[in-house]
Chains A and B, each alone.
Chain A
Amino acid sequence: MPTAPEPPPVVLIEGLTKRLRGVLAVDGLDLTVERGQVVGLAGPNGAGKSVTLKILLGLVRPTSGRVELFGEPARPGAPALARVGALVDGPGFVPHLSGRVNLRLACRLAHLGDAELERAVANARLGPAIDRQYRTYSHGMRYRLGLAQALLGQPELLILDEPTTGLDPAHIREIRHAIADAAAAGATVLFSSHVLREVEQVCTHAVVMQQGRLVGAGRVEDLVHMTDTVRLETDRPDDAAEVLRATDGITSVLVDDGAVEAQGPALRPGDLLLKLDAAGLAVQGFRRGRSLEEAYLELVGETAAESGPPEASPGP
């Protein structure tokens, strides 16, 4: 029986290069995003994250390389863009119109009906302010409206570029929930951030960029070495380190900052704790895996060391 052909990946980027104002903003990037993934694009300012997202949206033309959105080439006016919702470089609305009218215009352009408009208005959670002129909105209100517009029509792919910039913790949480809800409803999310804690919390996958290049990618679990690293805090780290080194299945032990980090395939932390207890060493704190920040710094640090002094970054 013939099997149905596999649907193409939501995003396919191969060898993407973009030269912007004489500087290589993106340099040979390869990236694939499959349906249902929540991918975090991490990297310092000037890493090329924004430019990559803009290329996906057809706003910027690649210098070379292959970029596909839902199996079709990404270009200005691509039909696939009907399935995409975006919030890039901050929200942008017509200042002298109200939030509601702005959303209504967006609905008309996307051929969506009143029901969808009402949903978006409810989504924005602006209360009576929805009928006030956009120019009177605070920073947080603008972002809410921008997110509501990105979610119009329940897009299959959500592209968010630094969606939490300048927002207070309550708003950040809202965005996180919105991303989680969209993912739960089956959407694919691609969002860029330089706040790694967010990426760690929300994403299933992470991609780390630096100076236009990919320096690390994979499932978040893998990047933080969730299953094969453990970090223990104890009063006598050197003694603990010795004990651990002697244990089977431990491939490396590092003492760092008063703590011991042990790595090995298929670690069983419970067993390690029992071993240390038997040796009379009390463990004060322990954590599985590293933080994404640590992993990221390692990735980014490695690359900087490899490639020598950094080139001028392409700017924000």
Chain B
Amino acid sequence: MIGVELVKQLHRPRGWVTLGLVAAVPIVLVLVVGLSRPTVAERLGDYGSVVTNSSGLTLPLIALSAMLLFLLPLAVAVFAGETVAGEASWGSLRYLLARPVPRSRVLASKAVVAAGFSVATVVVVVVSGVVGGVLAFGWHPVTVVDLQHTTVFHVAAATFSAPAMVLRTLAAAAFILATLASTFAFAFFLSTLTTRPFSAVAGGVGLSLVSRALDNVPGLHALSPWLPVTDSGTTAWTGFFTSPPQTTDVVHTLVVQAVYSAGFLIAAFVWFTRSDIVA
């Protein structure tokens, strides 16, 4: 079943275009940075700052930071939102379901393929960033200045060798994927409710945007730890690049994501297995 779903989705221009665009962004950044030669350090979240052209290995991080706000949630929402709603809009959902297979299995196969594409998106960004960055700026160690512990008298910094940097970058990428999970799950859930894929995608992106907007309202601080997408949550991975690594935010964010994702996915399964397919 997964094979069949894969064939359906692999042939879509949409998937390849998204991956292509996503791969292009780091390349564009390489060009921008290369042309402007900034020597001022780029900030990475709350914890650290890096100098962009000291090493090509900073590029994946810069790219991921830039795309976190909108492009990555959008890509993930597209993959998740298209799954069931797309099939319903083609009129082929009823034929997929009028078979001797439990509905939960059908839904699971769709979820797996969509998740695969989402993972591929982040992987593509990292690979493209590493390749483009290293070609342009070289394979060098990276120094990350620890902003939290730097004072006027002392600059706290950590230097990571190239292989260590790659490893931490992969860890950061995995974490970023986890922060996208709530958006994915919500878009997936919406996909089971509507026959218009666009609505599901927009809803997924909407969750991300509204959550961030609420996070930024001064006075609603009490709400922030419980929101699915927050500025601090999505940048907690920068804590991997200090020495020693800061992981409190990371753990908290992972728990929040797990709760929201589980909630939306369960809702999707319950709805899908119980609803009447009249479309």
Contacts and interface: CB of A to CB of B under 8 A. Distances in A.
Q: Do A and B bind each other?
A: yes
Interface of A: 20, 54, 57-61, 76-82, 84, 86, 88-97, 101, 105-106, 108-110, 149
A57 B98 contact: yes
Interface stretch (B99-107, B175-183, B235-243): B99-107
B98 A84 contact: yes
Query: At the interface, is chain A mostly helix, strand, loop or mixed?
Result: loop
A77 B7 contact: no
A86 B97 CA distance: 11
B11 A97 contact: yes
Interface in B12-43: 12-13
Nearest to B104: A77
Interface string B238-279: 000000000000000000000000000000000001101110
Contact of B98 (A59, A90, A93, A108): A59
A138 to B, nearest CB: 16
11 contacts: A54-B276, A54-B277, A76-B273, A77-B101, A77-B102, A86-B95, A88-B98, A97-B11, A108-B3, A109-B1, A109-B99
B70 interface: no
Given A59-B278, A88-B94, A92-B94, 9 more contacts: A57-B97, A59-B98, A61-B276, A76-B273, A81-B100, A86-B98, A108-B3, A109-B96, A109-B101
Contacts, number: 84
Contact of B93 (A81, A92, A149): A92
Contact of A89 (B90, B94, B99, B276): B94
Nearest to B103: A76
A90 B98 CA distance: 14
A57 to B, nearest CB: 4
A99 to B, nearest CB: 13
B94 A101 contact: no
B91 A89 contact: yes
A2 to B, nearest CB: 31
A106 B101 CA distance: 13
B221 interface: no
Q: Which 4 A-B pairs have the closest CB atoms?
A: A92-B91, A92-B92, A77-B102, A57-B98
B54 to A, nearest CB: 45
Given A60-B276, A96-B11, A96-B13, A81 B98 contact: yes
B4 interface: yes
Contacts of B274: 61
Interface of B: 1, 3-4, 7-8, 11-13, 90-103, 105, 273-274, 276-278
Nearest to A90: B91
B277 A60 contact: yes
A56 to B, nearest CB: 9
A82 B100 contact: yes
A78 B100 contact: yes
B33 to A, nearest CB: 37
Nearest to B274: A61
A12 B12 CA distance: 42
A143 to B, nearest CB: 12
Contacts of B97: 57-59, 76-77
Contact of A80 (B4, B93, B100): B100
A82 B101 CA distance: 9
Contacts of B98: 57-59, 81, 84, 86, 88
A92 B90 contact: yes
B5 to A, nearest CB: 9
Contacts of A78: 100
Contacts of A95: 90
Contacts of B13: 96
A77 B93 contact: no
Contacts of B7: 97, 101, 105
Contacts of A80: 100
A61 B277 CA distance: 9
B8 A105 contact: yes
Given A54-B277, A59-B94, A96 B12 contact: yes
